[in-house]
Amino acid sequence: MKKNTYYAMAALLGFGTMASCDLDEYNPNSISSEESLATEEGFYGMQALCYQPIYAQLYSVFDFMQMAECGTDIWWCDRNRTSIEQMFYYEGLTPTTGKGWDKSFTQLYAALGLCNTIINTEIDESSDDAAEMKALQAETYFLRAFYHLQLTTYFGPITLVTGSPEESMTLKPKRNTLSEIYAQIVSDLKYAEANLPLSQSNRARATKKAAKALLCRAYAQGAGQGLSDEQGVSYWQRAKEESEDMIERMADYDAYLYDDVSDLWADGNNRDNKEFLFVAAGQDACSDATLYNASSSFTNKLFVYCYCNQKNLRELSLIEDDQYDPLYGRTNQSELAPSEYLLHCFDPSWDQRWEYSFQTAYFGYSMHREGSKKFNDSRVKWTESASESNEAQMSLYGISFSDDKTHRIVPYVDLNLVTYTAGGNQYPARVWPKGRAAVGSSVTNEEVEAMLTDVKKIYANPYPLDADDNRFYLYLYPEWDTKNYATYDRSDRVYCSVAIGDLFTDDASGYRRYIANQEEMKANASYISKNTNVYTERPSLNKFIWNYEGVYYGSNMQIRNGDVPVIRMAEVYLIAAEAEQKLGNEAKAAEYLNVLRKRAARATATESDYKLASADEETILDEYAREMCGEFQRWAILQRHGALADRLAEYNGRAAQSFKPYMVWRPISATFLQQIDNKDEYGDNGYGTTASSGLDGYLQ
């Protein structure tokens, strides 16, 4: 079949396929292609496009996240459903057009075409704009390394793209070896580190610390492939040197590690987070200058896949229509469920990362303050009478009531309603005090404000949850925390409480999984009526759900446009520990882990709770799970440790049944293979749709 040159070029390079970018509030599409590189303004606009996939595609939708996190030991599919089973469980995984792994491949290559256009543009050194344009080129070296690293991490030996689109255009692309790919990545990052500034006025742009940290990650990932540099020094040694240098000279890189993990995930620190070294920056609805409308591609829906839908428990949550729920949003996807292993990685008795990773206590909201007068009152179900009228339904959940109204369930937060001209409605929350009855409508706004307090993150529930905390309607408690739950008397609890272990069962096929229906719930937990939907609940990853002014996308309840860390300082500590362990220094590895564990410890914890004397490989992998779960890293970490097969066999039995040795690489894009003339030679990484895997001779 005759193929059009443009389509082949688009598949590999993607030049000209990007939509408008709002980085720095600039629309490069207003510049024609002829003039785009002739002026500093046009060059700046074209370069801004190089960033677009990071927030608009990779770190705001589930396509890339499923490839980066699923098919590992830490995530199962909600209720053991057959949904995205190719990524969760390797079932039927093959090159397929339109799937998340296919789209990620083409998006990454699309960005490379733009990067090379900027990098290969000759700058007039005598022009007034030369310095600014060269600084933009340094950013683009970083981005080219970033996109190449993502491609080779998941797809193995791919095709390096460093020339201009015209020079690189081919219908018969060739792979590069892993050594060649990583050498180019390292070279680009060293150039970027040397030429990037310490800080930028725009938090979305790359800096010196971003390049240094990504170099640490690149060395670690390359080390897992057995690589050494041109001097014969192992990449593990280089990872150790670079990460330890960054830790020792943190201030020189303008880098930072929060002393308390609660500050890391505090909503007030989401914008301009000091620990984030490179960030996928969300749009701010509070800025009327921001292009903020339904046509914008900058819309983050990650939390929709991470949260269980509280509409399923409408008798408790009082959520009848999640399309209009400003507290939890429209969480109608509900795919990503933490595995039993991941949950048991945490010791919640001392580790705050438990509640700053997962919401396990669910609550309702009121809207008493003045802004609520603009909101449809019929949608706000938590009223004084509501807390008294649903006793019959709540009894199905094991909740009993006394005559004392303070033991009736009341909201945990009160949402205000603030409207911006461009950004639409915002719903900032404050917290009601514990130990109160429902508040009637006669209370003034001033009286309400005086009662309310602020917390760092409303979705990080108090731990341990007090038995009489009537601001919560459902609590999934970690029964393995014997310091707090050695005994558990549900009759003392004013809310529905379910042991997390009761959410799991043994499948007939021989693996552990989530319960899937009311009957299985009743078999595990006789204290719950089988006529409820408690079986749909689980601990929900809360790293991508935020509540503050500027994060909402108006009335669209599937979107929260917060900042997503692409790499943060804690990862550099983990890489240092990982490299030390690989080089045989397990005591030194533990020192780096202890820094993270200490800042995660509760005020009540003692050193004996969190301090490690040494760290073997399993300890390293466990600590990565605690610190980085959900942050687009798990598959890459297991891949570079050669641990996918073993960890799946131990912690993800359903996936282990379908996993094959060649699945240590994701399948090459079917869209790409269909548009080149040598697909059988290029190969699909062993998935059987091409005559060869294409890997022979390139895995070194």
Q: What is the mean pLDDT of residues 378-382?
A: 64
Do 533 and 665 have their domain in common? no
461 or 34: which leads in pLDDT: 461
Secondary structure letter of residue 56 according to DSSP? I
Question: What pLDDT sits at residue 291?
Answer: 43
Looking at the structure, tell me whether residues 41 and 167 fall in a common domain: yes
Q: Are residues 347 and 488 in the same domain?
A: yes
Task: State whether 138 and 1 are in the same domain.
Answer: yes
Query: What is the total count of domains within the chain?
Result: 2
For residue 641, is it within any domain? Answer: yes
For CA atoms 588, 190, 59, 158, the dihedral sign is negative
Residue 525 within a domain = yes
* pLDDT over 80 (residue 458): yes
Give me the residue label for tokens 């960005």: 111
Residue 422: is its pLDDT beyond 80? no
Confidence of residue 30 (pLDDT cuts 50, 70, 90): very low
Tokens (6 digits) for 197: 């500034």
pLDDT (0 to 100) of residue 441: 60
Three-state helix/strand/coil letters over 282-295: CCCCCCCCCCCCCC
Token digits for 658? Answer: 């379908």
Q: Is residue 52 part of a domain?
A: yes
Q: What is the pLDDT of residues 690-700, one digit of tens each?
A: 999 999 999 99
What pLDDT sits at residue 129? Answer: 87
- Give the residue among 407, 415, 330 at the shortest CA–CA distance from 364: 415
Provide the residue range defining the domain that includes 37. Answer: 1-177+633-700
In a domain? residue 236: no
- Shortest CA distance to 347 belongs to which of 590, 609, 607? 609
pLDDT in tens, 570-595: 999 999 999 999 999 999 999 999 99
Question: Tell me: the pLDDT tens digits for 279-291?
Answer: 999 988 776 444 4
Averaged over 237-245, what is the pLDDT? 99
Question: Residue 334 domain-assigned?
Answer: yes
- What CATH number did the domain enclosing 674 receive? 1.25.40
Higher pLDDT, 83 or 136: 136
Rounded Cα distance between 458 and 442, Å, is 26
Residues 387 and 528 in one domain: yes
**Does 634 have pLDDT greater than 60?**
yes
Same domain, 68 and 153: yes
Task: Please list, residue by residue across 656-668, b when 16 or more beta carbons sit within 10 angstroms of its beta carbon and e when fewer do.
Answer: bebbeeebbbbbb
Q: pLDDT tens digits for 465-515?
A: 999 998 999 999 999 999 999 999 988 898 999 999 999 999 999 999 999
- Of 538, 562, 586, the last residue of a domain is 562
Q: How many whole angstroms separate alpha carbon 203 and alpha carbon 218? A: 22
- Cross-strand pairs, 552: 560
> pLDDT tens digits for 251-263?
999 999 999 999 9
* Same structural domain, 116 and 2: yes
Same domain, yes or no, for 548 and 662? no
Q: Which has the minimum average pLDDT: 8-17, 299-308, 371-380, 566-575? A: 8-17
pLDDT tens digits for 158-199? 999 998 777 777 899 999 999 999 999 999 999 999 999 999
Select from 530, 562, 594 the last residue of a domain. 562
Interatomic CA distance for residues 383 and 503, integer angstroms: 31
Report the pLDDT value the prediction gives residue 128, as an integer from 0 to 100: 85
Claim to verify: residue 311 and residue 440 sit in the same structural domain: yes
Residue 71 belongs to some domain of the structure = yes
Contact status, residue 75 vs residue 336, Cβ threshold 8 Å: yes
643 and 549 belong to one structural domain:
no
Residue 115 in this model has a pLDDT that exceeds 60:
yes
Model pLDDT for residues 330-362, shown as the tens digit of each residue: 998 899 999 999 999 999 999 999 999 999 999
* Preceding peptide of 464 cis, ω within 30°: yes
Q: Is the pLDDT of residue 205 over 60?
A: yes
Query: What is the per-residue burial (b if ≥16 Cβ within 10 Å, else e) of 206-215?
Result: bbbbbbbbbb
Q: Is pLDDT above 80 for 404? A: no
**pLDDT of the residue at 690:** 99
Residue with the larger pLDDT of the pair 104 and 374: 104
Q: Are 426 and 550 in contact (CB under 8 A)?
A: yes
Query: What is the arithmetic mean of pLDDT over 217-241?
Result: 99
Mean pLDDT of 120-132: 88
Instruction: Check pLDDT > 50 for residue 26.
Output: no
- Domain ends where: 511, 544, 562? 562
Torsion, Cα of 681, 685, 690, 696 (10° steps): 40
Q: In what order do the strands lie in the sheet with 472-477?
A: 361-363, 472-477, 496-499
pLDDT at residue 377, rounded to an integer? 54
Mean pLDDT across the stretch 88-95?
97
- Mean pLDDT computed over every residue of the chain: 89
Q: Please check whether residue 219 lies inside any domain of the structure.
A: no
pLDDT band of 8, cuts 50, 70, 90: very low
User: What pLDDT is stored for residue 45 in this prediction?
Assistant: 87
Is there a domain that residue 260 lies in? no
Decide if pLDDT at 12 tops 80.
no
Report the pLDDT value the prediction gives residue 373, as an integer from 0 to 100: 52
11, 152: one domain: yes
> For residue 569, what pLDDT is reported?
99
Q: What average pLDDT does this structure show over 206-225?
A: 99
Q: Which of 173, 103, 62 is nearest to 95 (CA)?
A: 103
- Pair 682, 545 in one domain: no
Where do we find the tokens 């082949």? 8
SS3 of the chain: helix, strand, coil, percent, to 5? 45, 10, 50
Please tell me the distance from the alpha carbon of residue 344 to that of residue 348, in angstroms, as a whole number: 9
Please report which helix (H) or strand (E) contains residue 627, including its range. helix 617-628
- Answer whether 686's CB lies under 8 Å from 95's CB: no
**pLDDT tens column, 589-607:** 999 999 999 999 999 999 9
